Amino acid sequence: MEKEDQFSESLSLFTTDEAPIAPLPSGQLPSYIKDHRKRLRERFVQGGADALPDYEMLELVLFRAIPRQDVKPLVHRLLVKFGGFNEVMSASLPRLKEVKGVGEAVICELKLVEAAAHRLARARVIQRHVLSSWDTLLDYCHTTMAHRDIEQFRVLFLDTKNTLIADEEQARGTVNHVPVYPREVAKRALELNASALILVHNHPSGDPSPSDSDIVMTEQIQQATQTLGITLHDHLIIGRSRELSFRSEGYL
């Protein structure tokens, strides 16, 4: 009920320009919806993403998926359930399907935006010197992992010049656990001829503090890679709004 209260004021904003969802005659948009969509697009083109709050950004995304209906009620339901624009984009398919009005077209648009964001963020770090572009790397990790609802474990493989040569997901888990096998990490590093690694995983709870199992797993991977002459630069845990570096915190 707390989230519903939080967004009750937003719903009043949703309904100022557009009527509640209803079938439209002759497959045409009424002028009040058409004008609203035009104004919203113009504001976005002129001011960019910073000119629009979460609910209007989400409206823009859904215009193509739902071309002949008012999307505001669906936007409201999505924000109430997930909490924000980023969380909606990162939501899993099963959870999205739980929301009334979410069908294949809506899911396709949401996941297309998410995939585009990940691809753009990845392009900024792949084949780049990672240690001299640390902030860009952190941005990439937050974009791809901060809002996931299950744990994901990734390994960034670097060459002798600390250039990122591969970024691979090694495992997915539950909301608070992901199985990781140090031998498999070391084996893959050899296959890629990597000279160094950065481990990354997320905490869906939002708190990046390491668990005992996180610390033990990191030590095991470090031992496995050291014998092969492969450097473990860091292990990053990504929370909702901040990250934790094992190197900075003295765990490595």
Whole-number Cα distances in Å, 242 to 15, 79, 145, 239, 250: 35, 22, 12, 5, 17
Residue 108: both structure tokens together: 């396709």
> Please, where are the H alpha helices in the chain?
2-14, 31-47, 54-65, 72-82, 85-90, 93-97, 104-123, 134-145, 182-191, 212-226, 246-249
CA distance 65 to 196: 43
- Reading the block at residue 87, the tokens are 């969380």
Task: Give the CA distances from residue 204 to residues 129, 145, 162, in Å, rounded to whole numbers and listed in that order.
Answer: 29, 9, 29
- CA angle, 29 then 35 then 38, to 5°: 105
The pLDDT of residue 149 is 82
Q: At what angle do helices 72-82 and 2-14 cross, to 10 degrees?
A: 160
The residue that leads in pLDDT, 192 or 37, is 192
Contact status, residue 221 vs residue 196, Cβ threshold 8 Å: no
pLDDT digits (tens, 9 = 90+) for 83-124: 889 889 988 889 999 999 999 999 999 999 998 988 888 888
Burial of 204 (0-12, 13-18, 19+ CB in 10 A): buried
pLDDT in tens, 63-76: 888 888 889 999 99
Kindly report, residue by residue over 221-233, the tens digit of the pLDDT.
999 999 999 999 9
Question: pLDDT tens-digit profile of 196-219?
Answer: 999 999 998 889 999 999 999 999
Q: 């963020």: which residue's tokens?
A: 121
Q: Cβ neighbours of residue 78 under 8 Å, at least 6 residues apart?
A: 58, 88, 99, 102
Cα-based distances in Å from 48 to 45, 53, 63, 98: 6, 11, 17, 31
Write down the pLDDT at residue 39. 86
- In angstroms, the CA 97 to CA 107 distance is 8
Angle between helices 212-226 and 182-191 (to 10 degrees): 40
